[in-house]
Structure 1
Protein backbone atom coordinates (compact mmCIF):
# COMPACT_ATOMS: atom_id res chain seq x y z
CA UNK A 1 0.00 0.00 0.00
CA UNK A 2 1.07 3.63 -0.48
CA UNK A 3 2.01 5.61 2.60
CA UNK A 4 3.88 8.76 3.65
CA UNK A 5 6.81 7.82 5.87
CA UNK A 6 10.00 9.06 7.47
CA UNK A 7 12.84 6.55 7.77
CA UNK A 8 14.31 8.20 10.87
CA UNK A 9 13.63 11.25 13.02
CA UNK A 10 14.27 14.43 11.08
CA UNK A 11 14.16 12.74 7.68
CA UNK A 12 12.18 14.23 4.81
CA UNK A 13 8.70 12.67 4.50
CA UNK A 14 8.39 10.53 1.37
CA UNK A 15 5.92 8.33 -0.48
CA UNK A 16 6.71 4.65 0.04
CA UNK A 17 5.23 1.21 -0.48
CA UNK A 18 4.41 -0.45 2.84
CA UNK A 19 2.92 -3.83 3.76
CA UNK A 20 -0.83 -4.08 4.23
CA UNK A 21 -1.43 -4.05 8.02
CA UNK A 22 -3.34 -6.89 9.64
CA UNK A 23 -5.79 -6.19 12.47
CA UNK A 24 -5.04 -8.07 15.68
CA UNK A 25 -7.50 -8.82 18.49
CA UNK A 26 -9.74 -5.86 19.28
CA UNK A 27 -8.49 -3.87 16.30
CA UNK A 28 -9.90 -2.86 12.95
CA UNK A 29 -8.32 -2.09 9.60
CA UNK A 30 -9.63 1.13 8.11
CA UNK A 31 -9.40 1.94 4.42
CA UNK A 32 -8.41 5.58 4.66
CA UNK A 33 -10.25 7.91 2.29
CA UNK A 34 -9.19 11.24 3.82
CA UNK A 35 -6.58 12.32 6.37
CA UNK A 36 -6.29 15.67 8.11
CA UNK A 37 -2.92 17.44 8.23
CA UNK A 38 -1.84 19.01 11.54
CA UNK A 39 1.26 20.86 12.79
CA UNK A 40 1.78 17.89 15.10
CA UNK A 41 2.63 15.70 12.09
CA UNK A 42 5.84 17.66 11.55
CA UNK A 43 6.69 17.60 15.24
CA UNK A 44 6.21 13.84 15.33
CA UNK A 45 8.45 13.39 12.28
CA UNK A 46 11.14 15.39 14.09
CA UNK A 47 10.99 13.12 17.15
CA UNK A 48 8.61 14.92 19.51
CA UNK A 49 7.49 11.61 21.05
CA UNK A 50 10.95 10.06 21.23
CA UNK A 51 11.41 8.63 24.71
CA UNK A 52 7.69 8.99 25.39
CA UNK A 53 6.36 6.31 23.07
CA UNK A 54 8.10 3.49 21.16
CA UNK A 55 8.27 3.96 17.38
CA UNK A 56 8.37 1.68 14.35
CA UNK A 57 10.35 2.71 11.25
CA UNK A 58 9.72 3.43 8.47
CA UNK A 59 7.25 5.55 10.44
CA UNK A 60 3.92 6.21 8.73
CA UNK A 61 2.83 9.74 9.62
CA UNK A 62 -0.65 11.11 10.24
CA UNK A 63 -2.93 11.16 13.28
CA UNK A 64 -6.35 12.10 11.86
CA UNK A 65 -8.09 9.83 9.38
CA UNK A 66 -11.50 8.85 8.06
CA UNK A 67 -12.71 6.03 5.85
CA UNK A 68 -14.48 2.68 6.06
CA UNK A 69 -13.89 -0.45 8.11
CA UNK A 70 -12.19 -2.90 5.75
CA UNK A 71 -11.54 -5.76 8.19
CA UNK A 72 -12.01 -6.55 11.87
CA UNK A 73 -9.78 -8.59 14.13
CA UNK A 74 -10.98 -11.17 16.67
CA UNK A 75 -13.21 -9.84 19.41
CA UNK A 76 -14.33 -6.65 17.64
CA UNK A 77 -17.94 -5.81 18.47
CA UNK A 78 -18.36 -2.04 18.11
CA UNK A 79 -17.77 -1.76 14.36
CA UNK A 80 -18.84 -3.63 11.24
CA UNK A 81 -17.09 -4.00 7.91
CA UNK A 82 -18.24 -1.23 5.58
CA UNK A 83 -19.04 1.26 8.36
CA UNK A 84 -17.78 4.83 7.93
CA UNK A 85 -15.51 5.90 10.78
CA UNK A 86 -13.17 8.71 11.81
CA UNK A 87 -10.57 8.89 14.52
CA UNK A 88 -7.02 9.34 15.75
CA UNK A 89 -4.49 6.81 14.53
CA UNK A 90 -1.82 7.31 17.18
CA UNK A 91 -1.11 4.54 19.66
CA UNK A 92 2.03 2.64 20.72
CA UNK A 93 4.16 1.84 18.89
CA UNK A 94 3.88 5.08 16.91
CA UNK A 95 4.41 4.89 13.19
CA UNK A 96 1.20 3.34 11.89
CA UNK A 97 -0.62 6.54 11.06
CA UNK A 98 -3.35 7.75 8.75
CA UNK A 99 -1.23 8.96 5.82
CA UNK A 100 -1.68 5.59 4.16
CA UNK A 101 -4.21 3.66 2.13
CA UNK A 102 -4.96 1.48 5.18
CA UNK A 103 -4.37 1.90 8.90
CA UNK A 104 -5.09 -0.07 12.07
CA UNK A 105 -6.93 1.31 15.10
CA UNK A 106 -8.09 -0.17 18.43
CA UNK A 107 -11.87 -0.41 18.51
CA UNK A 108 -11.83 1.09 22.02
CA UNK A 109 -9.60 3.99 20.97
CA UNK A 110 -10.51 7.40 19.58
CA UNK A 111 -12.57 5.97 16.72
CA UNK A 112 -16.25 6.74 16.12
CA UNK A 113 -18.88 6.36 13.39
CA UNK A 114 -19.33 9.28 11.00
CA UNK A 115 -22.90 10.63 11.25
CA UNK A 116 -25.09 10.81 8.19
CA UNK A 117 -24.70 14.15 6.45
CA UNK A 118 -21.04 14.63 7.40
CA UNK A 119 -18.63 14.07 4.52
CA UNK A 120 -15.55 11.91 4.94
CA UNK A 121 -13.31 14.88 4.12
CA UNK A 122 -14.99 17.05 6.77
CA UNK A 123 -14.76 14.27 9.34
CA UNK A 124 -11.04 13.79 8.68
CA UNK A 125 -10.38 17.44 9.50
CA UNK A 126 -11.93 17.20 12.97
CA UNK A 127 -10.15 14.87 15.41
CA UNK A 128 -7.06 16.80 16.51
CA UNK A 129 -7.92 20.43 15.75
CA UNK A 130 -11.61 20.23 16.58
CA UNK A 131 -11.30 18.39 19.87
CA UNK A 132 -8.39 20.60 20.96
CA UNK A 133 -10.63 23.63 20.45
CA UNK A 134 -13.42 21.90 22.34
CA UNK A 135 -11.05 21.05 25.20
CA UNK A 136 -9.97 24.71 25.44
CA UNK A 137 -13.55 25.98 25.70
CA UNK A 138 -14.41 23.31 28.26
CA UNK A 139 -11.28 24.02 30.34
CA UNK A 140 -11.94 27.75 30.44
CA UNK A 141 -15.60 27.23 31.40
CA UNK A 142 -16.63 30.21 29.28
CA UNK A 143 -19.77 31.99 30.43
CA UNK A 144 -22.15 34.03 28.25
CA UNK A 145 -21.04 37.63 27.90
CA UNK A 146 -17.37 37.04 28.63
CA UNK A 147 -14.74 38.46 26.29
CA UNK A 148 -12.09 36.13 24.89
CA UNK A 149 -9.12 36.78 22.63
CA UNK A 150 -8.05 34.07 20.20
CA UNK A 151 -4.55 34.50 18.79
CA UNK A 152 -4.06 32.35 15.70
CA UNK A 153 -7.74 32.28 14.78
CA UNK A 154 -7.42 31.31 11.11
CA UNK A 155 -5.61 27.99 11.57
CA UNK A 156 -7.20 24.61 12.17
CA UNK A 157 -7.68 24.86 15.92
CA UNK A 158 -8.49 28.57 15.73
CA UNK A 159 -11.21 28.11 13.13
CA UNK A 160 -13.04 25.70 15.41
CA UNK A 161 -12.29 27.67 18.56
CA UNK A 162 -13.89 30.86 17.23
CA UNK A 163 -17.10 28.93 16.58
CA UNK A 164 -17.17 27.02 19.86
CA UNK A 165 -16.40 30.10 21.97
CA UNK A 166 -19.18 31.96 20.17
CA UNK A 167 -21.59 29.08 20.79
CA UNK A 168 -20.65 29.27 24.49
CA UNK A 169 -21.81 32.89 24.48
CA UNK A 170 -18.47 34.70 24.44
CA UNK A 171 -17.66 37.96 22.70
CA UNK A 172 -14.79 36.75 20.50
CA UNK A 173 -11.84 38.92 19.50
CA UNK A 174 -9.80 37.10 16.86
CA UNK A 175 -6.43 37.88 15.32
CA UNK A 176 -6.24 37.58 11.54
CA UNK A 177 -4.83 39.37 8.54
CA UNK A 178 -7.21 41.88 6.99
CA UNK A 179 -7.78 39.54 4.04
CA UNK A 180 -9.13 36.89 6.40
CA UNK A 181 -11.36 39.18 8.47
CA UNK A 182 -14.53 38.12 6.67
CA UNK A 183 -13.71 34.47 7.30
CA UNK A 184 -13.38 34.78 11.06
CA UNK A 185 -16.40 37.09 11.25
CA UNK A 186 -18.53 34.46 9.53
CA UNK A 187 -17.26 31.89 12.03
CA UNK A 188 -18.44 34.05 14.94
CA UNK A 189 -15.83 36.68 15.81
CA UNK A 190 -17.26 39.95 17.11
CA UNK A 191 -14.04 41.87 16.36
CA UNK A 192 -11.00 41.10 14.20
CA UNK A 193 -7.52 42.25 15.22
CA UNK A 194 -5.15 42.68 12.27
CA UNK A 195 -1.83 41.55 13.70
CA UNK A 196 0.02 43.08 10.74
CA UNK A 197 -1.33 46.56 11.55
CA UNK A 198 0.49 47.07 14.84
CA UNK A 199 0.67 45.75 18.37
CA UNK A 200 -2.09 43.26 19.13
CA UNK A 201 -1.87 44.23 22.79
CA UNK A 202 -2.44 47.90 22.01
CA UNK A 203 -5.31 47.17 19.63
CA UNK A 204 -7.10 44.95 22.14
CA UNK A 205 -6.56 47.44 24.96
CA UNK A 206 -8.14 50.15 22.83
CA UNK A 207 -11.19 47.95 22.22
CA UNK A 208 -11.45 46.53 25.76
CA UNK A 209 -9.76 48.99 28.17
CA UNK A 210 -11.17 47.05 31.14
CA UNK A 211 -9.42 43.85 30.00
CA UNK A 212 -10.56 40.46 28.77
CA UNK A 213 -11.71 37.31 30.52
CA UNK A 214 -9.74 34.69 28.60
CA UNK A 215 -6.82 34.43 26.21
CA UNK A 216 -6.40 31.43 23.94
CA UNK A 217 -3.01 31.73 22.26
CA UNK A 218 -2.35 29.05 19.68
CA UNK A 219 0.86 30.39 18.16
CA UNK A 220 2.85 32.86 20.30
CA UNK A 221 6.25 32.11 21.89
CA UNK A 222 6.63 32.62 25.66
CA UNK A 223 7.74 36.26 25.59
CA UNK A 224 4.86 37.33 23.35
CA UNK A 225 2.34 35.34 25.36
CA UNK A 226 3.57 37.01 28.55
CA UNK A 227 2.92 40.43 26.98
CA UNK A 228 -0.60 39.48 25.90
CA UNK A 229 -1.34 38.07 29.34
CA UNK A 230 -1.35 41.64 30.67
CA UNK A 231 -4.71 42.04 28.93
CA UNK A 232 -6.35 39.37 31.10
CA UNK A 233 -8.17 40.42 34.25
CA UNK A 234 -7.39 38.77 37.57
CA UNK A 235 -9.54 35.68 37.83
CA UNK A 236 -9.38 35.15 34.08
CA UNK A 237 -7.78 32.34 32.10
CA UNK A 238 -4.85 31.96 29.71
CA UNK A 239 -4.17 28.88 27.60
CA UNK A 240 -1.36 27.94 25.24
CA UNK A 241 -1.30 24.78 23.14
CA UNK A 242 2.40 25.02 22.28
CA UNK A 243 3.79 24.98 25.82
CA UNK A 244 4.46 28.73 25.97
CA UNK A 245 2.67 29.57 29.23
CA UNK A 246 4.55 30.29 32.46
CA UNK A 247 2.07 28.65 34.79
CA UNK A 248 3.77 29.91 37.95
CA UNK A 249 3.57 33.50 36.73
CA UNK A 250 -0.10 33.03 35.86
CA UNK A 251 -0.94 31.80 39.35
CA UNK A 252 0.90 34.74 40.90
CA UNK A 253 -1.46 37.04 38.99
CA UNK A 254 -4.57 35.08 39.95
CA UNK A 255 -5.01 33.67 36.44
CA UNK A 256 -6.01 30.08 35.74
CA UNK A 257 -5.13 27.91 32.76
CA UNK A 258 -1.67 27.17 31.42
CA UNK A 259 -0.37 24.72 28.85
CA UNK A 260 -3.11 22.49 27.49
CA UNK A 261 -2.42 19.16 25.85
CA UNK A 262 -5.59 17.71 24.37
CA UNK A 263 -6.44 14.22 25.56
CA UNK A 264 -9.89 13.91 24.02
CA UNK A 265 -11.09 10.50 22.98
CA UNK A 266 -14.07 8.91 21.32
CA UNK A 267 -16.82 10.57 23.39
CA UNK A 268 -15.51 14.09 22.80
CA UNK A 269 -15.03 13.45 19.09
CA UNK A 270 -18.58 12.07 18.84
CA UNK A 271 -19.93 15.19 20.57
CA UNK A 272 -18.15 17.44 18.09
CA UNK A 273 -19.34 15.38 15.12
CA UNK A 274 -22.91 15.74 16.36
CA UNK A 275 -22.50 19.52 16.34
CA UNK A 276 -21.25 19.36 12.76
CA UNK A 277 -24.10 17.06 11.73
CA UNK A 278 -26.61 19.46 13.29
CA UNK A 279 -25.14 22.43 11.44
CA UNK A 280 -23.91 24.18 14.59
CA UNK A 281 -20.22 23.92 13.62
CA UNK A 282 -18.81 24.19 10.12
CA UNK A 283 -15.56 22.54 9.06
CA UNK A 284 -13.37 25.08 7.27
CA UNK A 285 -11.37 23.22 4.62
CA UNK A 286 -8.69 25.32 2.96
CA UNK A 287 -7.98 22.63 0.39
CA UNK A 288 -7.65 18.95 -0.43
CA UNK A 289 -4.57 17.39 -2.00
CA UNK A 290 -3.73 13.84 -3.06
CA UNK A 291 -1.68 11.62 -0.76
CA UNK A 292 1.46 11.85 -2.87
CA UNK A 293 1.61 15.62 -2.31
CA UNK A 294 1.60 15.26 1.48
CA UNK A 295 5.32 16.11 1.86
CA UNK A 296 4.59 19.64 0.60
CA UNK A 297 1.83 20.12 3.19
CA UNK A 298 3.51 18.67 6.28
CA UNK A 299 4.97 21.55 8.27
CA UNK A 300 3.57 24.22 5.94
CA UNK A 301 2.27 27.28 7.78
CA UNK A 302 -0.23 30.01 7.06
CA UNK A 303 -3.25 27.83 6.41
CA UNK A 304 -6.77 29.27 6.67
CA UNK A 305 -8.56 26.27 8.03
CA UNK A 306 -7.67 22.66 7.40
CA UNK A 307 -5.72 20.85 4.69
CA UNK A 308 -6.94 17.32 4.00
CA UNK A 309 -5.23 14.53 2.07
CA UNK A 310 -7.46 12.45 -0.17
CA UNK A 311 -6.83 8.86 -1.15
Structure 2
Protein backbone atom coordinates (compact mmCIF):
# COMPACT_ATOMS: atom_id res chain seq x y z
CA UNK A 1 0.00 0.00 0.00
CA UNK A 2 1.26 3.46 -0.88
CA UNK A 3 1.11 6.07 1.85
CA UNK A 4 2.74 9.35 2.84
CA UNK A 5 4.28 9.66 6.28
CA UNK A 6 7.42 9.99 8.37
CA UNK A 7 9.92 7.41 9.60
CA UNK A 8 10.87 9.61 12.54
CA UNK A 9 9.05 12.39 14.39
CA UNK A 10 9.61 15.74 12.71
CA UNK A 11 11.19 14.19 9.62
CA UNK A 12 10.26 15.27 6.10
CA UNK A 13 7.17 13.37 4.91
CA UNK A 14 7.88 10.87 2.15
CA UNK A 15 6.14 8.30 -0.01
CA UNK A 16 6.11 4.92 1.76
CA UNK A 17 5.32 1.35 0.75
CA UNK A 18 3.50 -0.32 3.64
CA UNK A 19 1.42 -3.47 4.17
CA UNK A 20 -2.27 -3.14 3.40
CA UNK A 21 -4.22 -2.99 6.68
CA UNK A 22 -7.01 -5.40 7.56
CA UNK A 23 -10.29 -4.79 9.37
CA UNK A 24 -10.48 -6.37 12.80
CA UNK A 25 -13.60 -7.04 14.88
CA UNK A 26 -15.87 -3.98 14.85
CA UNK A 27 -13.76 -2.28 12.21
CA UNK A 28 -14.24 -1.16 8.62
CA UNK A 29 -11.57 -1.14 5.89
CA UNK A 30 -12.04 1.85 3.57
CA UNK A 31 -10.42 2.29 0.17
CA UNK A 32 -9.56 5.98 0.31
CA UNK A 33 -10.96 8.12 -2.50
CA UNK A 34 -9.34 11.25 -1.11
CA UNK A 35 -7.80 12.62 2.10
CA UNK A 36 -8.30 16.15 3.39
CA UNK A 37 -5.25 18.27 4.23
CA UNK A 38 -5.22 20.18 7.55
CA UNK A 39 -2.65 22.51 9.16
CA UNK A 40 -2.45 20.15 12.14
CA UNK A 41 -1.16 17.23 10.03
CA UNK A 42 2.50 18.27 10.29
CA UNK A 43 2.19 18.86 14.04
CA UNK A 44 0.86 15.33 14.45
CA UNK A 45 3.79 13.99 12.40
CA UNK A 46 6.17 15.90 14.67
CA UNK A 47 4.81 14.09 17.74
CA UNK A 48 3.01 17.11 19.18
CA UNK A 49 -0.06 15.05 20.12
CA UNK A 50 1.55 11.84 21.30
CA UNK A 51 4.00 9.37 19.80
CA UNK A 52 2.31 6.44 18.08
CA UNK A 53 4.44 3.73 16.46
CA UNK A 54 6.59 4.64 13.48
CA UNK A 55 6.37 4.95 10.55
CA UNK A 56 3.54 7.44 11.09
CA UNK A 57 1.13 8.04 8.21
CA UNK A 58 -0.11 11.61 7.86
CA UNK A 59 -3.71 12.73 7.60
CA UNK A 60 -6.90 12.50 9.65
CA UNK A 61 -9.70 13.28 7.14
CA UNK A 62 -10.92 10.87 4.49
CA UNK A 63 -13.69 9.90 2.10
CA UNK A 64 -13.92 6.56 0.34
CA UNK A 65 -15.80 3.32 -0.13
CA UNK A 66 -15.98 0.42 2.28
CA UNK A 67 -13.79 -2.42 0.98
CA UNK A 68 -14.69 -4.98 3.63
CA UNK A 69 -15.76 -5.19 7.26
CA UNK A 70 -14.62 -7.08 10.32
CA UNK A 71 -16.70 -9.42 12.44
CA UNK A 72 -19.61 -7.87 14.28
CA UNK A 73 -19.99 -4.86 11.96
CA UNK A 74 -23.65 -4.13 11.16
CA UNK A 75 -23.73 -0.48 10.08
CA UNK A 76 -21.73 -0.75 6.86
CA UNK A 77 -21.34 -3.06 3.90
CA UNK A 78 -18.76 -3.27 1.09
CA UNK A 79 -19.30 -0.50 -1.44
CA UNK A 80 -20.85 2.01 0.98
CA UNK A 81 -19.59 5.59 0.46
CA UNK A 82 -18.37 7.04 3.77
CA UNK A 83 -16.39 9.97 5.16
CA UNK A 84 -14.92 10.82 8.50
CA UNK A 85 -11.85 11.01 10.74
CA UNK A 86 -9.17 8.41 11.36
CA UNK A 87 -5.43 8.21 11.91
CA UNK A 88 -3.30 7.86 8.78
CA UNK A 89 -5.51 8.86 5.86
CA UNK A 90 -2.77 9.84 3.37
CA UNK A 91 -2.91 6.27 2.12
CA UNK A 92 -4.70 3.97 -0.26
CA UNK A 93 -6.54 2.30 2.64
CA UNK A 94 -7.53 3.20 6.17
CA UNK A 95 -9.15 1.22 8.99
CA UNK A 96 -11.81 2.87 11.16
CA UNK A 97 -13.95 1.71 14.08
CA UNK A 98 -17.59 1.24 13.12
CA UNK A 99 -18.68 3.31 16.13
CA UNK A 100 -16.11 6.08 15.57
CA UNK A 101 -16.35 9.34 13.63
CA UNK A 102 -17.39 7.83 10.30
CA UNK A 103 -20.79 8.15 8.58
CA UNK A 104 -22.44 7.91 5.18
CA UNK A 105 -21.06 10.53 2.80
CA UNK A 106 -23.32 13.39 1.67
CA UNK A 107 -25.06 12.86 -1.66
CA UNK A 108 -24.77 16.44 -2.90
CA UNK A 109 -21.00 16.40 -3.58
CA UNK A 110 -18.57 14.03 -5.24
CA UNK A 111 -17.19 11.45 -2.84
CA UNK A 112 -13.64 12.81 -3.14
CA UNK A 113 -14.91 16.29 -2.25
CA UNK A 114 -16.36 15.01 1.02
CA UNK A 115 -12.77 14.43 2.22
CA UNK A 116 -12.45 18.21 2.63
CA UNK A 117 -15.25 18.30 5.19
CA UNK A 118 -14.55 16.42 8.45
CA UNK A 119 -12.10 18.45 10.57
CA UNK A 120 -12.82 21.93 9.19
CA UNK A 121 -16.54 21.32 8.91
CA UNK A 122 -16.97 19.83 12.37
CA UNK A 123 -14.91 22.69 13.81
CA UNK A 124 -17.11 25.29 12.12
CA UNK A 125 -20.34 23.60 13.16
CA UNK A 126 -19.08 23.01 16.70
CA UNK A 127 -18.08 26.66 17.12
CA UNK A 128 -21.52 27.89 16.09
CA UNK A 129 -23.16 25.54 18.57
CA UNK A 130 -20.73 26.37 21.40
CA UNK A 131 -21.15 30.13 20.88
CA UNK A 132 -24.91 29.70 20.43
CA UNK A 133 -24.92 31.90 17.34
CA UNK A 134 -28.46 33.00 16.52
CA UNK A 135 -30.23 34.78 13.71
CA UNK A 136 -29.74 38.54 13.65
CA UNK A 137 -26.46 38.43 15.57
CA UNK A 138 -23.20 39.91 14.26
CA UNK A 139 -20.21 37.58 13.98
CA UNK A 140 -16.67 38.91 13.48
CA UNK A 141 -14.60 36.12 11.91
CA UNK A 142 -10.81 36.47 11.94
CA UNK A 143 -9.21 34.14 9.38
CA UNK A 144 -12.23 33.67 7.15
CA UNK A 145 -10.45 32.60 3.95
CA UNK A 146 -9.32 29.10 4.94
CA UNK A 147 -11.20 25.84 5.30
CA UNK A 148 -12.80 26.46 8.70
CA UNK A 149 -13.46 30.10 7.83
CA UNK A 150 -15.28 29.42 4.57
CA UNK A 151 -17.42 26.73 6.19
CA UNK A 152 -18.15 28.90 9.22
CA UNK A 153 -19.14 31.86 7.04
CA UNK A 154 -21.68 29.75 5.16
CA UNK A 155 -23.12 28.04 8.21
CA UNK A 156 -23.45 31.31 10.15
CA UNK A 157 -25.08 33.06 7.19
CA UNK A 158 -27.50 30.15 6.85
CA UNK A 159 -28.52 30.86 10.46
CA UNK A 160 -29.17 34.49 9.47
CA UNK A 161 -26.16 35.80 11.37
CA UNK A 162 -24.38 38.81 9.84
CA UNK A 163 -20.78 37.79 9.13
CA UNK A 164 -17.92 40.30 9.08
CA UNK A 165 -15.13 38.29 7.47
CA UNK A 166 -11.50 39.31 8.03
CA UNK A 167 -8.97 37.99 5.52
CA UNK A 168 -5.45 38.64 4.31
CA UNK A 169 -5.91 39.74 0.71
CA UNK A 170 -8.96 40.84 -1.22
CA UNK A 171 -11.56 38.08 -0.77
CA UNK A 172 -14.72 40.19 -1.12
CA UNK A 173 -16.14 38.32 -4.09
CA UNK A 174 -15.47 34.79 -2.82
CA UNK A 175 -16.54 35.42 0.78
CA UNK A 176 -19.54 37.38 -0.45
CA UNK A 177 -20.67 34.32 -2.40
CA UNK A 178 -20.36 32.33 0.81
CA UNK A 179 -22.64 34.77 2.63
CA UNK A 180 -20.32 37.33 4.28
CA UNK A 181 -22.04 40.69 4.69
CA UNK A 182 -18.71 42.56 4.89
CA UNK A 183 -15.17 41.45 4.06
CA UNK A 184 -12.19 43.33 5.47
CA UNK A 185 -8.69 42.91 4.04
CA UNK A 186 -6.39 43.11 7.07
CA UNK A 187 -3.38 43.84 4.84
CA UNK A 188 -4.84 47.13 3.58
CA UNK A 189 -7.55 48.08 6.10
CA UNK A 190 -7.66 48.78 9.82
CA UNK A 191 -9.93 46.04 11.13
CA UNK A 192 -10.83 47.77 14.40
CA UNK A 193 -11.74 51.00 12.58
CA UNK A 194 -13.87 49.13 10.06
CA UNK A 195 -15.74 47.29 12.81
CA UNK A 196 -16.05 50.03 15.41
CA UNK A 197 -16.41 53.12 13.19
CA UNK A 198 -18.09 51.72 10.08
CA UNK A 199 -20.17 48.75 11.22
CA UNK A 200 -20.77 48.24 14.95
CA UNK A 201 -19.82 51.20 17.18
CA UNK A 202 -21.19 49.34 20.21
CA UNK A 203 -19.29 46.15 19.34
CA UNK A 204 -20.20 42.84 17.73
CA UNK A 205 -22.10 39.99 19.36
CA UNK A 206 -19.61 37.20 18.64
CA UNK A 207 -15.91 37.04 17.78
CA UNK A 208 -14.39 33.88 16.31
CA UNK A 209 -10.60 34.16 16.07
CA UNK A 210 -9.07 31.34 14.04
CA UNK A 211 -5.68 33.04 13.76
CA UNK A 212 -4.35 34.60 16.96
CA UNK A 213 -2.14 32.33 19.08
CA UNK A 214 -0.90 35.31 21.08
CA UNK A 215 -3.23 36.25 24.00
CA UNK A 216 -2.51 39.95 23.45
CA UNK A 217 -3.62 39.76 19.82
CA UNK A 218 -6.75 37.87 20.85
CA UNK A 219 -7.42 40.46 23.57
CA UNK A 220 -7.18 43.25 20.99
CA UNK A 221 -9.73 41.50 18.80
CA UNK A 222 -11.94 40.81 21.80
CA UNK A 223 -12.13 44.57 22.43
CA UNK A 224 -14.43 44.73 19.38
CA UNK A 225 -17.08 42.65 21.20
CA UNK A 226 -19.70 44.37 23.34
CA UNK A 227 -20.25 43.50 27.01
CA UNK A 228 -22.27 40.32 27.25
CA UNK A 229 -20.88 39.01 23.94
CA UNK A 230 -18.80 35.91 23.24
CA UNK A 231 -15.19 35.58 22.03
CA UNK A 232 -13.99 32.21 20.69
CA UNK A 233 -10.37 31.18 20.16
CA UNK A 234 -9.31 28.02 18.36
CA UNK A 235 -5.62 28.68 19.06
CA UNK A 236 -5.59 28.55 22.86
CA UNK A 237 -5.23 32.33 23.23
CA UNK A 238 -7.91 32.83 25.90
CA UNK A 239 -6.96 34.15 29.33
CA UNK A 240 -10.21 34.13 31.27
CA UNK A 241 -11.26 30.58 30.33
CA UNK A 242 -14.98 31.21 30.41
CA UNK A 243 -14.99 33.68 33.32
CA UNK A 244 -16.67 36.92 32.27
CA UNK A 245 -14.23 39.23 34.06
CA UNK A 246 -13.97 41.58 31.09
CA UNK A 247 -17.68 41.52 30.34
CA UNK A 248 -17.10 39.18 27.37
CA UNK A 249 -17.33 35.41 27.71
CA UNK A 250 -14.27 33.59 26.39
CA UNK A 251 -14.42 30.14 24.86
CA UNK A 252 -11.32 28.05 24.10
CA UNK A 253 -12.74 25.78 21.43
CA UNK A 254 -11.37 22.32 20.65
CA UNK A 255 -13.25 20.13 18.19
CA UNK A 256 -14.42 16.75 19.45
CA UNK A 257 -15.01 14.57 16.38
CA UNK A 258 -18.13 12.43 16.47
CA UNK A 259 -20.48 10.58 14.19
CA UNK A 260 -23.23 12.93 15.35
CA UNK A 261 -21.34 16.03 14.19
CA UNK A 262 -20.48 14.38 10.87
CA UNK A 263 -24.12 13.45 10.31
CA UNK A 264 -25.19 17.04 11.01
CA UNK A 265 -22.50 18.25 8.62
CA UNK A 266 -23.69 15.94 5.84
CA UNK A 267 -27.23 17.25 6.34
CA UNK A 268 -26.00 20.84 5.91
CA UNK A 269 -24.34 19.86 2.63
CA UNK A 270 -27.32 17.90 1.31
CA UNK A 271 -29.68 20.67 2.43
CA UNK A 272 -27.78 23.28 0.43
CA UNK A 273 -26.55 25.36 3.39
CA UNK A 274 -22.92 24.35 2.90
CA UNK A 275 -20.87 24.26 -0.29
CA UNK A 276 -17.43 22.68 -0.38
CA UNK A 277 -14.76 24.68 -2.16
CA UNK A 278 -11.70 22.57 -3.01
CA UNK A 279 -8.79 24.87 -3.77
CA UNK A 280 -6.41 22.15 -4.94
CA UNK A 281 -6.36 18.43 -5.65
CA UNK A 282 -2.93 16.79 -5.56
CA UNK A 283 -1.68 13.22 -6.10
CA UNK A 284 -0.35 11.26 -3.14
CA UNK A 285 3.26 11.74 -4.25
CA UNK A 286 2.85 15.53 -3.86
CA UNK A 287 1.13 15.43 -0.48
CA UNK A 288 4.22 16.51 1.49
CA UNK A 289 4.41 19.81 -0.38
CA UNK A 290 0.67 20.38 -0.06
CA UNK A 291 0.60 19.93 3.70
CA UNK A 292 3.61 22.23 4.13
CA UNK A 293 1.82 24.97 2.20
CA UNK A 294 -1.39 24.57 4.18
CA UNK A 295 0.48 24.50 7.51
CA UNK A 296 2.22 27.72 6.45
CA UNK A 297 -1.11 29.53 6.35
CA UNK A 298 -1.36 30.08 2.61
CA UNK A 299 -4.55 28.13 1.98
CA UNK A 300 -7.74 29.47 0.42
CA UNK A 301 -10.38 26.84 1.00
CA UNK A 302 -9.41 23.18 1.21
CA UNK A 303 -6.82 20.89 -0.38
CA UNK A 304 -7.40 17.18 -0.94
CA UNK A 305 -4.94 14.35 -1.67
CA UNK A 306 -5.83 11.62 -4.15
CA UNK A 307 -4.12 8.21 -3.65
TM-score bracket relative to the smaller structure: over 0.9
Cα shift readout 1:49-84 (whole Å, capped 9, x = no counterpart): 12xxx5021001100001011111111110001111
- Give, in whole Å, the separation in 2 of the partners of 1:259 and 1:249: 8
For residue 186 of structure 2, give the secondary structure of its aligned residue in structure 1: coil
TM-score (normalizing by structure 1):
0.94
Check whether the contact 1:193–1:204 (CA below 8 A) recurs between aligned residues.
no
Mark the CA change 1:213 to 1:304 in structure 2 (over 3 Å): closer, same or farther. Answer: same
Deviation at 1:202, TM superposition (A): 2.3
- How far, CA to CA, are the matches of 2:298 and 2:243 in structure 1? 29
Contact kept in structure 1, 2:21 and 2:95, CA below 8 Å? yes
1:35 lines up with 2:35 in the alignment: yes
Matches within 5 A, 1:30-179: 30-50=30-50, 55-90=52-87, 97-179=88-170
- Contact 1:246–1:258 (Cα < 8 Å) also in 2: no
Q: Which residue of 1 aligns with 2:281?
A: 288
What is the aligned residue count? Answer: 302
Q: Which residue of 2 aligns with 1:14?
A: 14
* Helix, strand or coil at the partner of 1:20: coil
Cα deviation for residue 250 of structure 1 reads: 5.8
Report if the CA contact (8 A) 2:82-2:105 is conserved.
yes
Quote the Cα distance in structure 2 between the aligned partners of 1:49 and 1:177. Answer: 29
What secondary structure, in the 3-state scheme, does the structure 2 residue paired with 1:247 have? coil
Partner of 2:257: 264
Aligned twin of 2:202: 210
- Large movers: runs of 4+ above 6 Å: none
Of residues 119-128 and 200-209 in structure 1, the stretch that sits farther from structure 2 once superposed is: 200-209
- Residues 212-251 of structure 1 mapped to structure 2, 5 A cutoff: 212-221=204-213, 222-248=215-241, 251=244
Instruction: Give, in whole Å, the separation in 1 of the partners of 2:279 and 2:43.
Output: 21
CA distance in 2, matches of 1:43, 1:213: 33
Mapped pair 1:310 → 2:301: no
- SS of the residue aligned with 2:53? strand
Instruction: Name structure 2 gaps, 5 residues minimum.
Output: none
User: Which residue of structure 1 aligns with residue 174 of structure 2?
Assistant: 183
> 1:257 deviation in Å?
3.3
- Which region of structure 1 is more displaced relative to structure 2, 289-298 or 254-263? 254-263
The answer to whether the Cα contact below 8 Å between 1:116 and 1:277 also exists between their aligned partners in 2 is: yes
In structure 2, distance between residues paired with 1:56 and 1:24 = 18
Q: TM-score, normalised by structure 2?
A: 0.95
CA displacement at 1:259 relative to structure 2: 1.1
Cα drift, residue 179 of structure 1: 2.9
Matches of 2:224 and 2:24 in 1, distance apart?
52
